[in-house]
Structure 1
């Protein structure tokens, strides 16, 4: 699968949906941008960081709980926030309504490829991959994503 603007990655088991609005190829490597949907009371991603990338988020609808370097806050509709390189973080929806956010990662590196690879491993395992399989995939993207 090749990331391109308009590509939608939907996981029916988790209820997540990621739509590419810009890719590494379409921005000459400057950034990747997606619109991402978090279902109510959905799964929490692991605490992680990005060694050399900045992430910028704007909550379009709903609200997300954000944990960033030990600080916890709720980002509601219209709120923008960023995560600097190396900052440990995670985001999840504890609310009763779907949350949608715009998410830009700069520079792009291979972030869009990583999103597609993680989606593919879920798809290939009937939407419920073993965490070890997902871990193996993300280990191939150490410049973009690291646990802890």
Structure 2
């Protein structure tokens, strides 16, 4: 569980999160964190939050945003808000580290999603772009956190439908992996 004051860093994408408020500390109302992005760092793909508003206040550096069909650069002191249902993505547009204060309302399980992706990165299971190498892992992650973020141009329902076979296959593969790891137990009657 992530607590206020905790920080995590994605070594693949260059994202660093320093948590100020978490879902647990705000009763689910707010997730707030300071966010740093190394030069050249960016979120892996544009995405949509179906019910969350994400607010970015640029503290230092320059951040290139894609918000809907618009692309623009925001600098220190500027605020960008991505309302629910609007596709967006962002990356560091400058030569130095970019820093932002990010607020997500409601929090949902967003910090858990960040932590899981960072764990995959630390285990070497992400591509250079920051996506899971294994399509079954990607499908499972996308399904588990589809209320937090989903692919642009798809609804949550369509994404679930498209991912269902991969999620099912992934759960079968995981079940078999766990069965093979379980020690053989002999039962004598």
Structure 1 alignment gaps of length 5 or more: none
1:75-99 residue CA offsets vs partner (Å, 9 max, x unmatched)? 1011011010000110011211110
Number of equivalenced pairs: 147
The alignment status of 1:144 with 2:148, answered yes or no, reads: yes
Kindly indicate whether residue 118 of structure 2 is the aligned counterpart of residue 115 of structure 1. no
Contact kept? 1:121, 1:134, Cα under 8 Å? no
**TM-score, normalised with respect to structure 1:** 0.91
Following superposition, the deviation at residue 127 of structure 1 comes to 6.3
- Tell me, yes or no, if the aligned pair for 1:56 and 1:80 is still in contact at 8 Å: yes
Compute the RMSD of aligned alpha carbons.
1.7
Please show how residues 1-148 of structure 1 align to structure 2 within 5 Å: 2-125=1-124, 128=127, 129-130=132-133, 132=135, 133-148=137-152
SS of alignment partner, residue 35 of structure 1: strand
Quote the offset at 1:47 in angstroms: 1.3
CA distance in 2, matches of 1:124, 1:136: 17
Q: CA deviation at 1:121?
A: 1.5
The answer to whether the 8 A contact 1:118-1:134 is kept is no
Per-residue Cα deviation, 1:13-48 (whole angstroms, up to 9, x for no partner): 433211111100000110101111111112442111
Counterpart-to-counterpart distance in 1, 2:79 and 2:119: 29
> Relative to total residues, which structure has the larger strand share, 1 or 2?
1
Question: Runs of 5+ in structure 2 lacking a partner?
Answer: 153-189
Q: How many angstroms does 1:8 deviate by?
A: 0.9
2:85, 2:118 → 1: CA distance? Answer: 24
- Deviation for aligned residue 1:135: 4.8
User: How far apart, CA to CA, are the structure 1 residues paired with 2:9 and 2:43?
Assistant: 16
| CA distance 1:28–1:141, change in 2 (3 Å) | same
Partners in 2 of 1:102 and 1:10 — Cα distance?
A: 15
Task: State TM-score, norm by structure 2.
Answer: 0.72
What secondary structure does 1:146 align onto?
coil
